[in-house]
Structure 1
């Protein structure tokens, strides 16, 4: 009787130990799996090519090819209209690349037949870098019905999406942006100068490449080479799977890349590049895909900053001017 009781106790302890070990292993593995499969913070402004294929030719969808006109004319997604950087630029400045006025955007969209109730699907062939600039402009004017096509033209081709070189017949409309503009993702040089001169925790994120950041390379449009003081560098292109899908990298990879900022999701992060295009892309990644709450893109970026001789800058290398 005693032996049978002892045997029962021993078997019970072994079962309990195995169960605990399994549960512990499950607890150890779960966070790893979760980190690898977690989806983006938001996909409100992101569209997969398969989703576009199912929505194709819907009345309230306007596809926008955001590439140079001469490239668009050779081939584009069937039915896409064309907009390029110069179409959304304010030319009243002595330097290029500044965001167009609300009135300018309204007139442009009206001429292209875009209606207030339309959803815009934006694409390019540069990892959404160019298209993200238009997304950023529209976000500042509080127009929310806009999505970036993940993977762009290359991803569309891979699923056999229709492409042609036919011009689109445009019927003018009366497009209007919301009455009040929040400029929620915008920041100007005066505010940045205050931050550069302070001892605050704000992050100034240069999204160009290392040659531009160091001052080795000076791109056309800039008056000098270098960077804004206190800047740290994360090249915008790190966010894209250029060797594979041409799409945004998965959440956990993006988290790892931007953890190099050593910033919380609530810290102020100011992005900039040469003319506010690549930094608009990084602004999309940080706010939409990763959930950072306080990100501002410097509209004028290095083109504007380098124009003013009284603004401070840093430079590490001998400059090679690139046209």
Structure 2
């Protein structure tokens, strides 16, 4: 007996208890997504070893939504107040190494488990979590994002659970020590890249923010000099449950923006959340080799007087 539920932006519509219909044949279980080993399909996840904990499913949505409905054997990542993995003491920076280590220890996440992140927010929370785990040295081959997230799971599989989810803390050993790998950059890195013209900046914000028509609470408006505009939503297929667009679609959008593919890319937005989605698309789907995120992004940059800006307004 499986309960079928739907949740959209935290608001959930519940169906009555009913057995699932007979399952149709699945595609090859070893198949991940169409372009990247970091992106997996609902079919891949359903065939994975989630019961043993070798594959951990991490729900990045609000804990209330998780309580009402989630993928079977999932754990609420947001339940640990870590959805965006920002410094819990405030500011725009990433969660500290010590706080992050404490988080993975509490969740009993060791480096041997494959982690699959999903959300109901077009992949924004999932890609953010993926990137921060990568930044703190979690093995990249064990980090996955569920393509289309919750909506695609409900379209393809429709199996869900409610309640608190799986508690692994008593059955798994402590996590191995993690350390930063430099995936998230600070202002000094940004200033150096600007001075030496050594990187291509990619602005993942809205067009209004990019041209300087919308301040978004900042003291100044505009963008990093020379930055190209590629809003994070451009990587989303809104006609297919918010899945990632195909590589061929994305190449058509990006090829005229990125003039030198060999140049390192630095993505940014307001607080590093949207930028993580864009960075994931650029690196994991389009195959750019050197992609970093300006973690503090415009929440820092546009509220200082010593940073250069451009605006088109």
Deviations 1:5-39 (A, max 9, x none): xxxxxxxxxxxxxxxxxxxxxxxxxxxxxxxxx95
Aligned to 1:203: 200
Looking at structure 1, the residues matched to 175 and 119 of structure 2 have their Cα atoms a distance apart, in angstroms, of 25
Structure possessing the higher radius of gyration over alpha carbons? 1
Which ranges of structure 2 fall in alignment gaps of 5 or more residues? Answer: 1-32
Task: Report the alpha carbon displacement of residue 215 of structure 1 after superposing the two structures with TM.
Answer: 2.1
1:187 to 182, 185, 189: 185
Is 1:239 the equivalent of 2:235? Answer: yes
Q: Secondary structure at the match of 1:121?
A: strand
Q: Secondary structure at the match of 2:240?
A: coil
Is 1:51 the equivalent of 2:48? Answer: no
Aligned to 2:21: none
Give the TM-score of the pair, scaled to structure 1.
0.77
CA contact (8 A) 1:205 1:231 kept: yes
2:63 to 43, 51, 69: 69
Greater mean alpha carbon deviation, residues 248-257 or residues 146-155: 248-257
Give the TM-score of the pair, scaled to structure 2.
0.80
Q: Secondary structure at the match of 2:255?
A: helix
Aligned to 2:134: 139
CA contact (8 A) 2:200 2:265 kept: yes
Aligned to 1:21: none
Looking at structure 2, the residues matched to 262 and 169 of structure 1 have their Cα atoms a distance apart, in angstroms, of 43
Aligned to 1:19: none
Q: Secondary structure at the match of 1:261?
A: coil
Aligned to 2:117: 122
Structure that is richer in helix per residue: 1
Which segments of structure 1 move beyond 6 Å, counting only runs of 4 or more?
none
- 1:240-279 equivalences in 2 (<5 Å): 240-279=236-275
Count of residue pairs the alignment pairs up: 273
Looking at structure 2, the residues matched to 300 and 266 of structure 1 have their Cα atoms a distance apart, in angstroms, of 25
Looking at structure 1, the residues matched to 67 and 34 of structure 2 have their Cα atoms a distance apart, in angstroms, of 36
Which ranges of structure 1 fall in alignment gaps of 5 or more residues? Answer: 1-37, 318-323
